[in-house]
Structures are given as structure tokens and as C-alpha cells.
Chain A
Amino acid sequence: MMLRLQNMDEPALALARQVAPAVFAPRLLQTLLRVLAWLAFLALTMYCLWLFEMSPLRFVNGLGTLLHIVAQMFPPTAGDMLATYLMSMLQTVGMAFIGTVFAAVLALPLGLLGAKNMLSNGLAHFLFRRSSDVLRGVDQLIWALIFVRAVGLGPLAGILAIIISDTGTLAKLYSEAIENIDKKPVEGVRSVGGGPLHAIRYGVLPQVLPVMLSNMLYTFESNTRSATILGIVGAGGIGFYLSDRVRTMNWEDASFILLLILLTVYLIDHLSGFIRSRLIRGQVAKQPV
């Protein structure tokens, strides 16, 4: 039977009040907590605005300058640098591609060892997971700057930065994919006398390969975007020209490079989406019901 306050008569209500006074008490504490949370949120936001000196006046003034800059960006031109810009855009994509391929290969052992169902040793699992967290926790650009110092200016530093930071990202994604597999094929391979490597090759890989490839493609897309700024610290790619043109206030060339980046990223996204849809469609057809 449903007990509702509005269905109760007077004596029943009185009894209810006596038995469970908390139900009828005003929710003071809860209201108070809610008000306090909102006040803390407001105070933190105001503090940030104050700390960063973000006044409306400064915003409006800045917006004016920004509009001025945007007006100067038209028309976008490449001057006589068209070939150079195109070439270094191509270099950016190449860096992203090589970096992704190497990271995908290096992440494989890390991902396998970081998966709970592959390595039952808690400490080792923890170490592998945390080491990939360290690789991920530092921004790609910091790695790039460090590698520029270690191996010199040029695309090699950028490629190494991509490899390092994406090995961490992909290892984490791989581990998650591997932890979600059906373990029956693995047991099957083991039960007919297959070793651990056989189990990985015939039990694990067929299940996770499509997910891994899909992750790789996403990483490639995101790397194409992030590789465009590696040049800001001299680690190769179009970023060098972009930051140089912005710093020398050559806005027409800067906007041309921005358009080039937009177009390239758009193309790469579509290409990778096309490949992904083909891979996944093939996989769905192959999977047993």
C-alpha cells in the first residue's frame, strides 16, 4: 500500500509526526549547505577574475584590438611562400603519422602489462598504469621543448614528443580495451596447450584489434591538430611559420596558415572517419552472433 501524506487523516498524521519528526522538519542543513556551496563557487570565480585582472573594460578594449587584427587578416595571402607553407603543412601531417605509428607499437606491451586481466600482480599493474599516467600528465609541448634541447631543433624533437605523450595515452586506452574482453577465447587457447604469447595472439588480439585501430585513428586526428603547434618551440612543422607570422604581425600570412590548418584537419578527420567506418563495418560482419 502506498502511504501518502495527503491521503492520511489527522490522527494518522499526528502519529507520523511523532514517529518520524525528521520528515517534517524544515531541511535547514541542506539549504544551508547548498547556499554555502553557491557562495563558495561565486567567491572562487570572483577571486579568479580579480587575480587575472579580467575587468569588463579590459575585455572590451581587447575585443576592439582583436577585431582590428581580424580585419587585417583579410585577404589571406601566402605571398611567395606558398610552396614552403604547403611543404611544412605536409611535414606536420607526416610527423603526426610517424609519431602515432611508433606510439601505437610501443604502447602495445605497456597496454598488455597494464591490463588487470593480463597481469595479476597488483604492484606491477600499478607501476605500469602510473608510468603511463606520468607520460600523459605532461603536455606534449613540454616534451617537445625538452627534446629540442636534447636532440636539437627540427621535426625529430616533435616526433619524439608525440611518441612519448601518445604512448601513455594509447597504453591506457589499450589496457581498458583489453580489460573488457571476453576471456573464453583466452581460456580456450590455454586449455589446448597454448603459451601466454599464443593466448595473446589468438585469444586477445582478434578481440581488441578493431578497438585499437580505432583509437589509433583518433590519436592520429588529434596529433594532426597538436602537431601544428609543436613548431612554436622549434620542433618542426607549420607552427614555426605560424608563430613567426603572428609575432611579426604579418596577419595576412597568419590567416592563410590558419586556413591551411583548418582545411588539413578537416581532410584528415574525414579520411580517418572513412577508414574507421570501413574497419568497424568489416568487424561487425565477421563477429559471430
Chain B
Amino acid sequence: MRTEVIKFERQFAALQAQKQRQVWWYGGLFVLALLISAWIGDFSPAKIWHGLPRIHEYVLKTLPVLGWVTLWTDLTEWFWGLRKWLGLLLETVLIAYLSTLLGTVGALALAFDASTNLQRSGWGYGLTRRAMEFARTIPELVFALIFVFAFGLGPMAGVLAIAIHTMGGSGKLFAEAIENIDMKPVDGLRATGASWLQTLRFAVLPQVFPNFTSFTLWRFEINVRSASVLGFVGAGGIGQEFYTAIRMLYYEDISAMLLLLVATVMLIDIACERLRHRMIGQENMS
């Protein structure tokens, strides 16, 4: 009895020591990584401390002076470019729409070949997987930067850039959804001699459609955000106007446009969420 207690105590102490060693080891690695990052990123608490007042000052400058009596005139002065900005915001949203559409079509073209359970050939699988990885690893703004040279300044470069990125991102999610389907309908259709496309249409698509729609709506929300900075490299949308305002220090314009942008993004998020819930609800009912 006593020996067992001693044995247990010993084992417990050993496990505790091991745990402690692990904490020190991983904690030490973490702190080391943090220190190296701080050194190479030229980052220190003192710098933040000096930066904070400047950020505060900057934020104060962007806020307009609003008086109770002259509220309306002050507001109209603050949002003097409302018509132009709303037009650019609409363009931004449309860029996001068209690029989501094109990107989703591209993702649909690749995703079935890139899923382990439906792939037609080994090299097709590898090729589509690599293509999608490439498309989602390179940031859309880099694509936009290069496409501006190829397709000229303007929204077209932006649409194509985000479309390519969407193809990679959505394609991966689509392929994962396809890999999780029930294979019995697929076997059934194959047994009747259906072609590959017919199998996709009647056995796979009905199972993955709700997931695909949900991913696509979510992607659209993301793309609206990405489209808002395309203008930084001359690829359309409200970004160009932002860039000018921030560069030229038109302080009040910055806050006005930021408010409009945040409102737009929120509205779209809420609308997409509603739509998504409605679709999922319908799916559960039928």
C-alpha cells in the first residue's frame, strides 16, 4: 500500500516536472520569437507610447465641427461629396459582385476535379489543387498591381484580380464540401451509366448547393472589403478617392468616407446573413 502511494507520488511529481519543463520550453520559444519580431519589425513599447498622441491628434483632426444650431449645414459641408462617394461605393459593390460571380464560376470549374472522391485523374487533381493554392496565396492587390499593366487602369483589372483570388479561396472550400458528401447517390447514378457531368448535376450538386451558396455570400462580404482598396493601385472603386484624401490630408473627407464605407459593409453583412438564414431555414423544412 505504502509503496504504491510512493510510486504514485513519484510518478505525479515526474509528470508535473515534465509539464513545467514544457511550459518553460514553449514559453521561452514564444518570447524569443516575439523579441526577434520586435527587433526586426523595429517595434518597441516606447515607439507606441510616442505614437499614441499623434494618432489621437490625427483622429481629432478628422472629426468635423458640428454645432447644434448649424447642424444641417455642418453635415452637408462634411458630406459635401456624398453624391460622388455614393457612386464610387456603388462601383465598389458592383466590382465585388462581378468578381464574386466570375470567381465562383471558376471555383465550380475546378472544385470537382480537386476533391479526392470525384477527381477524374491524378494529374488533374494535382493541377487544380496547385492552381487554387497559387490563386489564393498571392494577395488580390498584387494581382491587381500586375493586371493594371496588362488590362489598363480601371475596374476591369480589379474585377479580374479579386475573381482569381475568389477562385482559389472558394474552390478550396467547395472541394472540402464535396469531399464530405454522401457517395451513395453518386454510386447510384454511375450504375445507371450517367456521364460525369450528369452525376455532378443530379447526385452532387443537390447535396452541396446550400453550402456553396453560403460560402459564396460570405465571400461576397469579404470581396466588398477587398474592393474598397483596389483604387490604391488604380484598379477602380472608392479606394482611389480614399488614397487621395489620406495622402492630401483632407481630414474630414476621410472620416466621412470611412463612415459611408462601414455603413455599406454592415448593411451588406446584415443582408447576406438574412439571406443565408432564410436559405438554411428553407433547406431544413423541405
* Chain A residues in the interface with B (C-beta under 8 A): 44-45, 47-49, 51-54, 58-59, 62-63, 65-66, 69, 87, 90-91, 93-95, 97-98, 101, 133-134, 137-139, 141-142, 145-147, 149-151, 154-156, 159-160, 225-226, 228-229, 232-233, 236, 242-243, 246-247, 249, 254, 258, 261-262, 265-266
Say if the beta carbon of B3 comes within 8 Å of chain A: no
B269 — which chain A residues lie within 8 A by C-beta?
133, 137
Q: Which residues of B contact A242 (CB under 8 A)?
A: 142, 145
A258 to B135, CA, bound (A): 12
B114-142 residues at the A interface, CB under 8 angstroms? 134, 137-139, 141-142
Residues of chain A with a CB closer than 8 A to B141's CB: 141, 229, 232
A48: chain B residues at CB < 8 Å are 94, 97-98
- CB-contacts of B27-41 with A (<8 A): 33-34, 36-38, 40-41
Contact status B55-A151, CB under 8 Å:
yes
Residue of A nearest to B157 (CB): A62
Report whether B156 and A54 are in contact in the complex, using a CB–CB cutoff of 8 Å.
yes
Residues of B within 8 A of A58 (CB): 151-152, 156
Contact check, B261 vs A98: say whether CB atoms are below 8 A apart.
Answer: no
Q: Judge whether A44 and B97 touch: CB under 8 Å.
A: yes
Q: How far is the CB of B37 from chain A (nearest CB, A)?
A: 3
Q: Say if the beta carbon of B66 comes within 8 Å of chain A.
A: no
Q: For A236, what are the chain B residues with a Cβ–Cβ distance below 8 Å?
A: 41-42
Q: Does B149 contact A249, Cβ atoms closer than 8 Å?
A: yes
Count B interface residues, CB 8 Å.
58
In angstroms, Cα B37 to Cα A49, docked, is 45
B229's contact among A65, A91, A94, A139, by CB below 8 Å, is which?
A139
- A interface majority secondary structure: helix
15 residue pairs A–B, Cβ–Cβ below 8 Å: A45-B101, A63-B150, A65-B149, A66-B147, A66-B151, A95-B43, A101-B34, A137-B261, A137-B262, A149-B58, A149-B246, A150-B57, A236-B42, A249-B149, A262-B138
Q: How far is the CB of B12 from chain A (nearest CB, A)?
A: 16
Decide: B246 and A91 in contact? CB cutoff 8 A: no
User: Interface digits, B178-214 against A, CB 8 Å rule (1 contact, 0 not)?
Assistant: 0000000000000000000000000000000000000
Query: Shortest CB–CB separation between residue A242 and chain B, in angstroms?
Result: 7
Q: Is the CB of B54 within 8 A of A151?
A: yes
Which residues of B have CB within 8 Å of A262?
A: 134, 137-138
A138–B38 contact, CB under 8 A?
A: no
* Cα-based distance from A159 to B34 in the complex (angstroms): 13
A142 to B241, CA, bound (A): 12
Interface status of B103 (Cβ within 8 A of chain A): no
Assess whether A159 is in contact with B91, with CB atoms less than 8 Å apart.
Answer: no
Chain A residues contacting B150 (CB-CB under 8 Å) are 62-63, 65-66, 69
- State in angstroms the CA–CA spacing of A170 and B74 once bound together: 36
User: Which residue in chain B gives the minimum CB-CB distance to A68?
Assistant: B150
Which residues on the B side are within 8 Å of A156 (C-beta)? Answer: 41-43, 47-48, 51
* Choice from A139, A145, A225 contacting B225 with Cβ under 8 Å: A139
Contact B229 A142 (CB under 8 A): yes
Task: Assess whether B149 is in contact with A160, with CB atoms less than 8 Å apart.
Answer: no
Tell me the bound Cα distance from A141 to B249 in angstroms: 17
> Is A52 touching B98 in the complex (CB atoms < 8 A)?
yes
